[in-house]
Structure 1
Amino acid sequence: MFDSNIPYESRGGMTGRIKSSVSTSPSIAIIFLCVISFFLELVPGIGPLYISAFQFDPHYLMARPWTLVTYIFLHIGLLHLFFNMLVLYFFGTALERRVGNKQLLGIFFTAGVLSAIGYAFLSQPIFNIYPNKSVVGASGAVYGVFAALTVLEPNIQVYVYFVPMRLKHALLLFAVFDFLMVNSSDMIAHTAHLSGLFVGLYMGFRMKKIHEKYMRSRYDGRW
């Protein structure tokens, strides 16, 4: 889904190849699926089985590979769901306007899958954390979208707890927070967040490089 050969259109401009609308927005579709999934989690008798079948457990990575994707659509608690979907709504729709629907989906799911793998394989050797807990939530995938958008449009102004700041400063703030809290016992998979963030940075820089090369070729072709 991630096509590194397609340049993005800076500052929200749209070309015949790069465009998105609310009616076809993958970010809105993901939000809808996450909300439906959350209600399924609340069904008595079915909810616990549903969560158990689709949550990501590092111990069963090889036996249950589908959970690398399905865990993204599960959330524990309304606030967990609300904040992830709120960030995805604003940053996801902004990113898809710049890079297109397929690129957005590629970034979201690549970051989501690799954030789970990062949690499973990087926690202990790097941070001395044994990943013995199951993981649910779209946070790692959302971090990937957040980071990719920051690379492409670092100076967008956002509000973090009502404080205005540039997008690049907001990303740095969240990255530092996750790094400092990585050994805490707050039940948050900070290593998954950081993994998704670095995936988003890589994909964002890759797309930016392709875009710059594309723009140079257009400029050179005029002479």
Structure 2
Amino acid sequence: MHSMISIIILFINIFLFLLQNLFPKITWLFILYPPVLLQEPWRIITHMFIHADFSHLFFNMLFLIFFAPALEREVGTMKFLGIYFSSGILGGIAQSLVSSSPSLGASGALYGVFGALAILNPRMKVVIFPLFIPVPISVAVILFAFIDFLMMGSGDAIAHGAHLSGLLAGVFLGFYFSRRRKLAFKDFEYF
């Protein structure tokens, strides 16, 4: 199974970043800004496709390239999209509840991908910077969550609430799809 939708998401993010730089008003049309969210609900989705600067885009897209295709192959395109968008939306809502500041980026969705993959394939090895040694993805997820939890309220302009909420959504959906897969396999055994 190909991971075509992951590649499409990558190109949409890059394309919109280029547009943001050509037409800066796009950022203000797409950014998640809590005071106007009820009047402009599209922002709960569009914020996932715009980024603050090149390094923000680069690291999010690197994360996407490393983990999204693996999850898409694991669960299929439609479930992958469900995890990606549910995590990004929940991350955006949670961040809006803890901060009235504008937020943008794919991090909530990507943390959801990370969390779901850790549940569905916990022995998958990943290399985390600066360790450069392979660790199980489940260990990496716990480490990332711990760091985000510690950094909440630090004023570092990172949406830690979106990260943690997206991660929780992904973990929940990972358990949900894992359980459904086991039930389907169990039913199959009776034939």
Deviating beyond 3 angstroms after TM superposition, the runs of 4 or more aligned structure 1 residues are none
Cα deviation 1:11-60 (Å, max 9, x = unaligned): xxxxxxxxx315xx1111000000001111111xx21x111111001111
Whole-angstrom CA distance in 2 between matches of 1:112 and 1:213 = 27
Structure 1 residue 145 and structure 2 residue 113: aligned? Answer: yes
Note if 1:202 corresponds to 2:183: no
Q: Which amino acid aligns with 1:199?
A: A
Aligned residue pair count: 189
Offset of 1:132 from its aligned partner?
A: 2.3
Residue 218 of structure 1: CA displacement? 1.0
For normalisation by structure 1, the TM-score amounts to 0.83
1:36: which partner in 2?
Answer: 15
User: AA paired with 1:37?
Assistant: L
Q: In structure 2, which of residues 119, 134, 156 is the aligned counterpart of residue 186 of structure 1?
A: 156
Counterpart in 1 of 2:102? 134
1:81-100 to structure 2, matched below 5 A, reads 81-100=57-76
Measured in 2, the distance between the counterparts of 1:40 and 1:176 equals: 35
Match of 2:35 in 1: 59
Gapped regions of structure 2 (runs ≥ 5) = none
SS of match in other structure, 1:178: helix
Q: What's the TM-score once normalised by structure 2's chain length? A: 0.96
Greater RCO (CA < 8 Å, at least 6 residues apart): 1
* Worse-matched range after superposition: 76-85 or 135-144: 76-85
Q: Which AA in structure 2 matches 1:84? A: N
Unaligned runs of 5+ in 1: 1-19, 124-130
Cα separation, 2, equivalents of 1:132 and 1:206:
32
Distance 2:165 2:102 in 1: 16
Note the alpha carbon deviations across 1:55-99, whole angstroms, 9 max, x for none: 001111101100000000100111111111111112110011111
1:76 aligns with 2:83: no
* Identical amino acids, percent of aligned pairs: 40
